[in-house]
Amino acid sequence: MKSFFGVLLVALLVYTLYVDNKSSPNAISRDQFEQVSANQSYDQLIDIEEGEVSDSSEPADHFPGPNVGDKAIDFKLSDLSGKAVTLSQFKGKKVIINFWATWCPPCKEEMPVMEEFYKNNRENIEVLAINIDPQYNVEEYKESMGLTFPILLDKDDKINKAYDILTVPTTYVINEQGIITHKQIGAITSLEAFNALVK
């Protein structure tokens, strides 16, 4: 008998909620919703997991932050030895800026490829790897990976925020005039892909 009244009570509660929603002045029908949706556009922030390549067909230059054709934001950061490095000091030379973190598996996969690219092209192209988690042992990471390109520490998270980085790794290619010519979200895992970026 108790179970019967329990079921009856739940049924009444569901019916009451249904009637309230149907009579609500704020409720709209499916047709009305579709009509409203058709007349409005929404800016969507695509949630990309760390190191994952977006499934979106939108090119990277539609994501937040500086994009292709924009002037690259200048910065001043310290390298692992404490030496100050600015982006503007490389004006007249192509520069690759790579945002990365020690905990990021795709970054780790990308590093040896970027190192090989750097060794082959260091006379003509500078690589600046901006680390966004300097609270960890970046020096040890560099040594274990055998990296020779400059690693800069974004200790205050200012450059990461200025470039509006959503995921790591993110890579920018900047031409001799300081203009962004390519933006890559996600790991670059082949030397051919790196070479294609700077052509």
Tokens of 128: 């600046």
Model pLDDT, residue 62: 60
DSSP 78: E
Output the pTM of the full model: 0.69
Q: Using a CB cutoff of 8 Å and minimum separation of 24, what contacts does 174-179 make?
A: 174/72, 174/87, 174/94, 174/95, 174/96, 174/97, 175/94, 176/91, 176/92, 176/93, 176/94, 177/91, 178/71, 178/72, 178/74, 178/87, 178/88, 178/91, 179/69, 179/70, 179/71, 179/72
Model pLDDT, residue 167: 93
Q: Name the pairing type of β-strands 94-100 and 84-86.
A: unpaired
pLDDT, tens digit, for every residue of 12-70? 554 554 444 444 444 434 444 344 334 433 333 323 333 333 333 344 556 678 999 99
pLDDT, tens digit, for every residue of 64-109? 789 999 999 999 999 999 999 999 999 999 999 999 999 999 999 9
Count the helices and strands in the chain (H runs, E runs).
6, 7
Amino acid at 48: I
